[in-house]
Amino acid sequence: MLVALLLTAAACSNAPRPSELSAGPGSTASSVSVGSGPGATVKGVAGHGDTNTPARADGAPGNTDNSGSVVTTGGPVEAIPVGRADPSGAAPGGIGGPGNRTGVKKTELRIGVTGYFPGNVLIASDLQKAFNAYADQVNAAGGVHGRRLVFDIVDTGDVTSEGGVDAAKQVEGRVLLNCECQGADNAVGAGAYLDSRGVPHFQVTATDAIAQQLKHGYVLAPTTEGFSLRTLEYMAVPLKLRGKKIGMVRSNNSVWQPGEAVYKTYSRELGMEVGPIRVTEASQASFVSEMRAMQEAGVEGIFCFCSLEVLGMVRDGKSLGYEPIIAGPTFSFDIISQAGGGSLDGFRSVRLGGTVDLAGYAAFRKAVRDRYGSEPLSDGFIFWGYAQFLVEAARLAGPDPTRARVENAMTTVQSLDTKGAIPPVTYGPNDRIGTTAMLPVRCCNENDRWISEGPYAESFR
């Protein structure tokens, strides 16, 4: 996306740079990170949930920035052996014990955030601003149970699983909980490692299978299967493609691959004819062959499980005289529509998080402007929602939080409201997927930003 963010999306796929999309088939391609993370399933499609078990504890302090609100770190972390005092002042807790208070000091509470945040990509720094600004707001109001909030942000370095694991190893010994808030395979790698170490964590990228295996983790967005189904429902009913042939184009990563099975099964169930599937590769700049295949197969609608690639698809489709309906959960972000310069005008789709017209956006915009003196990246609103949820998770653990108390508190979360930044989140004793809802959206307002067409919905049938 950008999730997505963005959000939840270009980091999740390898896509042409906006400046290259108008250059035609001969241009080069690059990996760009967009967002929230693709991940979504439908509650009830597959079982999920597990019992809570004690977490691990050892601790090493991180470094705060001048504001004391967010930390960006890199390099190895020296764990503090069990039984040795933590010079940072973290509260004591034994490895695997229920009293694990890693990340909790007398005056500070530390929450981890891992994702692909390359310093040379504007969107990466803007997404981090959402966490920084929210920490400022929380701390100005007294912090979390009187403790100053610090978001400990660690760059995975790339979008590989290995990069995610490396980042997770850095945060595990110094945070109370973590969010794998951006990416695809990197988010899954980080989540799997933290789960094995007993660290409570929240993933925005997951499949049904991943969700079922979690013991200390929770899925904060729909799973791949879930948002695939939401997209197909939206195509069949609001976009009126029932009775017509649709095709699928997806980026080549392991997390989005399960969407193919959902496409094959539920397209038919929803009354649509199944057409070709095409997978885009990392270095791809031309989409002529994909669009020609769809055109020759008589496809009238394309499920695009991709991000910036959509702009190349629209460009190359027009060169063939082919303009099908295109919808998908991972390209409906403002950074993509703005890069397209109006090429997505009139598109309707679904989105993983909030748009600029929703109630909570004004508070997000003001907080970022107050801290940085500049306009925020609008897609960062989704990360503002993630930040709100993470802080609420820490608050629910009480004034004396431990990792075990964070996990126990999750069984009580019911429709947590972030004023539209992300869908309402609900967990239960046997339900680790927080939402299956998505936002219906259309492109675009006068600033080439997506706007909502209705509330978040768990079904579009």
Q: Which residue has the tokens 């600029």?
A: 356
The tens digit of pLDDT for each residue in 140-155 reads 999 999 999 999 999 9
49 falls in which pLDDT band (50, 70, 90)?
very low
What is the pLDDT at residue 121?
62
282 falls in which pLDDT band (50, 70, 90)?
low
What is the pLDDT at residue 184?
83
54 against 288, higher pLDDT: 288
The answer to whether position 64 is within a domain reads: no
Least confident of 14-18, 176-180, 329-333, 407-411: 14-18
What is the pLDDT at residue 120?
56
What is the pLDDT at residue 461?
93
What is the pLDDT at residue 33?
26
Least confident of 81-85, 157-161, 289-293: 81-85
218 against 39, higher pLDDT: 218
Q: How far apart are CA 184 and CA 398, in angstroms?
A: 32
- 142: exposed, middle or buried (Cβ count in 10 Å: 0-12, 13-18, 19+): exposed
38 against 377, higher pLDDT: 377
The answer to whether position 330 is within a domain reads: yes
348 against 2, higher pLDDT: 348
| Average pLDDT value for residue range 265-285 | 92
What is the pLDDT at residue 35?
29
Query: Which residues constitute the domain of residue 239?
Result: 226-351
What is the pLDDT at residue 439?
98
Structure tokens at 103: 């990340």
Name the domain count of the chain: 1
The tens digit of pLDDT for each residue in 359-379 reads 999 999 999 999 999 999 999
E-only strand ranges, 297-416: 301-305, 325-327, 348-351
The answer to whether position 279 is within a domain reads: yes
CB atoms within 10 A of CB 126: 24
The answer to whether position 431 is within a domain reads: no
The answer to whether position 331 is within a domain reads: yes
- What secondary structure letter does DSSP report for 81? P
Structure tokens at 300: 């009238």
Amino acid identity of residue 379, one-letter, is D
Mean pLDDT, the chain, as a whole number?
Answer: 81
440, 448 contact by CB (below 8 A): no
36, 4 contact by CB (below 8 A): yes
* Residue 330 predicted with pLDDT over 60: yes
Pairing relation of β-strands 148-155 and 70-73?
Answer: parallel
What is the pLDDT at residue 164?
95
125 falls in which pLDDT band (50, 70, 90)?
confident
What is the pLDDT at residue 32?
25
What is the pLDDT at residue 71?
43
The answer to whether position 371 is within a domain reads: no
| Average pLDDT value for residue range 58-82 | 34
The answer to whether position 25 is within a domain reads: no
The tens digit of pLDDT for each residue in 72-90 reads 433 332 222 222 223 333 4
What is the pLDDT at residue 122?
59
What is the pLDDT at residue 256?
83
The answer to whether position 427 is within a domain reads: no
200 against 96, higher pLDDT: 200
* Residue 3 predicted with pLDDT over 80: no
119 falls in which pLDDT band (50, 70, 90)?
low
120 against 355, higher pLDDT: 355
| Average pLDDT value for residue range 442-456 | 96
Domain of 275, CATH number, reads 3.40.50.2300
What is the pLDDT at residue 56?
26
Q: How far apart are CA 320 and CA 287, in angstroms?
A: 11
Q: How far apart are CA 270 and CA 228, in angstroms?
A: 13
Sign of CA dihedral 272, 451, 223, 409: negative
What is the pLDDT at residue 46?
34
What is the pLDDT at residue 61?
32
| Average pLDDT value for residue range 101-115 | 96
What is the pLDDT at residue 98?
60
What pTM was estimated for this model as a whole?
A: 0.81
* Residue 111 predicted with pLDDT over 80: yes
Total residue count of the chain as it appears in this document = 461
123 falls in which pLDDT band (50, 70, 90)?
low
E-only strand ranges, 156-194: 177-180
